[in-house]
Each structure stands twice: as structure tokens, then as C-alpha cells.
Amino acid sequence: MHCWGKRLMDRTRHSASSPSASSRALLLVGDIGTALLDATRAGRYSCDVRTHVLEAIEAAARHDYRAIALVMASLSGQLNAVLKALRRCTGARLILLAQMYEEPIARALVEAGTEAAGAADEYRLCPTTLAGLCGAEPGGAQAMGQTGADGTCIDAALETRIRHLERLATTDDLTGLKNRRYLWEFGRQVLDRARQNGGRVTLLVFDIDNFKHYNDVYGHPTGDEILRQAAILMQRCCRAHDVVGRIGGDEFAVVFWDEPHESGDDVEVDRRKPQTDHPKEVICIAKRFQKEFGNAELHLLGPEGQGVLTFSGGLAGFPHDGATVQELFERADAALLEAKRSGKNRVYLVGEPTNNIADIP
């Protein structure tokens, strides 16, 4: 437990027994300037802002908030403990405000279910708006007391439409994976994080061997099914915090990165040295995907639809193979082309004496 744990429990018990002094609809926790587009207009909404953890939990225990939004970047290393404390002292809906690189963490905390002490109810990608947050509770803007200082009622449906458009802009319709635009921005944020924390990032770019043949012989519906199957299998093989995306056509990419320390309490992160080889777990994942993909059953291909699919790929790692997203994509693409020219059905590493991962024990 954090050093403030016992003191926090004593103070929240005292606060919870005190009469409610406020009926504010929303509590914002952390540095909202980095998370909200309209942070400077917070005074026009029915919300309170607390930048310090203890003050936020005391306010949650004392007041009857309908929702509490937490800026994840402001709670590094404390997130689970804060969520647990809030679950104990309030019934408010807990909303995580996540940067793009924090989305895997936020999704896992939401999918844990509200019965879990350290779980959240939903998450929003930053930057978001107070207009949307104040309409987060079922019942819309008026249910959350969302009225501006000038008496104007803000249309929560507008925020819903904005979020829908954002999903369309960042998600591949066919496979449900993230698209190239999302991968590019996610990679940029993760690389910035890796520079600050000494972490590492590995990019896998791959495409399906002879995909045009399947489209021409079996038709585009079968080609689409192969793409969806590839997406499902790759996600199944990856770790929860890795991000899988479809770049376009039959080309995919995966961003592998160090497991974020925010996913646990007081867990020491394995700080891998930048000068070491490609992470072994990434190579193991790529090998596992090769095996799973080669054994996939595709009934649309007829009785011979099992064990016919292969892919070729290239792996490039930060910081040795590239310092930017563009450089990593360029190097991984070059390794992919080399794998194709060498006979397909293989994944090559950038800048390694033993290029084919199949030759690595």
C-alpha cells in the first residue's frame, strides 16, 4: 500500500460520514489541461477539479458526484490504488482519460468489470471535451446538469457524433483493427515514452503471401475472410498492450512495446537495455503467429483450406533500427521485401547476421 494508504482510509471514512456539501455532477482528477480541449472553460460546467490524489478522494467521499474522470498521465504508478480507493468511497461512474499509448491499459481496466476493485467503467481517448464528459451519464446533458454559465444547454449528441467520426478515422472497417493513421500516432507517442523511460519499441510489418491469387481464384469475399482471420489470429497471439493494425490491402503492422507499469501496483518494470538484441518475446509471438496462420481452417477455400496460408514480414526495433515512426516503417518494409525475395513464408530482422527468425533458437 502507498505511504498515504492508511491516512487516506481514515480521512475518507470521516469525509463519507460528513453531510454532502455539493451536488456537482463531475469530478476531474489530474492535469486536465493535457486531456481536455475545453479545459479553460471548466468554470462554465457543473464540475470540480482536483489535481492532488488525496484531495480528489476526499472530495469523492464527501460529495455525490455522478461521474469521476481521471487523467491517467497524472496518476502514473498510482492508478490502481486510486481506483480502488474510489470504489470504496463512492458509487460514481469512473472514467479514464487516456492518451493513445495508454489505451491498452484503459481498455483492460474497463474490461475487468465493475466488480473488480481497481476497475473503471469506461475510458475516453484524449483530447476529449468537458461537453462530452458532462453528458457521459445515461440521461444526457441535462441529467448531468450540463448547462453553460449563459444558460445554454450543450448537446451531448454532438459529442457522440464526434466520437463516432473519430472511430471511423482510426479503425479499419473490414477487420476492426486500428488503421494506419492510428498506428502512426500511437507509434509516435510510444517512441516519445520510450525515449524518456529507456524503453524499447519493435515494429512488425507483414503481408499475406500470394494474396492476389486467393482474390482472383476464390473471389473477394474469400479474400476479405482471409484478412479477418489474419486479424483475429494476430490479436490472439499478441500481448494485451501490443497494438495490431491494418495498413491497407493485405498489409498489417504490429507495434510491440514494453509492458506499461501503470497496469500494476508498485511493480518494478523490467528496464531492458537498448543495446540488447531484439526482444525474445516479440520473436516468439511472430513464430507463434506463423504457426497459427499456417494451421488456420478456411472453409471457403474448400477441402484443402487448411495449412495453405503463409505470410512474410520484417521486424525493426527502436532505437537501433530507427528513431522515428517513419524510419521504423521504412526499415521494416525493406526487411519484408527481402523476405519476399528470399522465398516468402518468413520474417526477417533488420540488421541481424541471422535474418530469418526461424533460425533463432
The CATH number of whichever domain residue 252 belongs to comes to 3.30.70.270
14-36 per-position pLDDT tens digit: 444 333 434 568 999 999 998 88
Are 294 and 305 within 8 A, CB to CB? no
d(CA 44, CA 60): 20
Q: Which residues on neighbouring strands pair with residue 246, listed in sequence order?
A: 179, 252
d(CA 340, CA 310): 11
d(CA 72, CA 34): 10
Regarding whether 233 and 343 lie in a shared domain, the answer is yes
Regarding whether 155 and 14 lie in a shared domain, the answer is yes
| Residue 65 banded pLDDT, cuts 50, 70, 90 | very high
200-251 per-position pLDDT tens digit: 899 999 999 999 988 888 889 889 999 998 999 999 999 888 999 999 999 9
159-177 per-position pLDDT tens digit: 566 666 667 778 999 999 9
Are 35 and 47 within 8 A, CB to CB? no
| Residue 143 banded pLDDT, cuts 50, 70, 90 | very low
Regarding whether 80 and 58 lie in a shared domain, the answer is yes
Regarding whether 165 and 209 lie in a shared domain, the answer is no
For 212, residues 6+ apart whose C-beta sits below 8 A from its C-beta are none
Q: What is the dihedral of CA 191, 254, 285, 220, to 10 degrees?
A: 180
Regarding whether 354 and 214 lie in a shared domain, the answer is yes
Regarding whether 216 and 164 lie in a shared domain, the answer is no
pTM of the predicted protein model: 0.69
80, 126, 315, 343 from 346: Cα distances, Å = 41, 38, 11, 8
| Of the residues 169, 192, 210, the one at which a domain ends | 169
| 356: number of Cβ within 10 Å | 15
- The dihedral sign for the CA sequence 72, 77, 79, 85: negative
267 or 356, which is more confident: 356
Regarding whether 103 and 33 lie in a shared domain, the answer is yes
Local structure of 229: helix, strand or coil:
helix
Local structure of 164: helix, strand or coil:
helix
d(CA 314, CA 347): 5
243-248 sheet: strands from edge to edge: 178-179, 243-248, 251-257, 201-208, 311-318, 347-349
336-348 in b/e burial notation, b at 16+ Cβ within 10 A? bebbbeeeebbbb
| Of the residues 153, 169, 185, the one at which a domain ends | 169
Which domain range does residue 230 map to? 172-359
Are 231 and 247 within 8 A, CB to CB? no
d(CA 300, CA 302): 5
243-254 per-position pLDDT tens digit: 999 999 999 999
CA angle 347, 213, 224 (to 5 degrees): 80
| Of the residues 141, 169, 197, the one at which a domain ends | 169
Regarding whether 190 and 123 lie in a shared domain, the answer is no
Mean pLDDT, rounded, of the chain: 80
Q: What is the DSSP string of 55-107?
A: HHHHHHHHS--SEEEEEGGGGTTTHHHHHHHHHHH--PEEEEEE-GGGHHHHH
Q: What is the pLDDT of residue 163?
A: 65
Regarding whether 188 and 155 lie in a shared domain, the answer is no
Regarding whether 190 and 139 lie in a shared domain, the answer is no
Regarding whether 293 and 317 lie in a shared domain, the answer is yes
Report the CATH number at residue 108: 3.40.50
351 or 277, which is more confident: 351
67-71 sheet: strands from edge to edge: 47-50, 26-29, 67-71, 93-98, 122-125
Regarding whether 193 and 93 lie in a shared domain, the answer is no
Q: What is the CA radius of gyration of the chain?
A: 24
Are 121 and 110 within 8 A, CB to CB? yes
User: SS3 for 187-209, per residue?
Assistant: HHHHHHHHHHHCCCEEEEEEEEC
Domain count, the chain: 2
Residue (of 311, 288, 314) closest to 226 by Cα position: 311
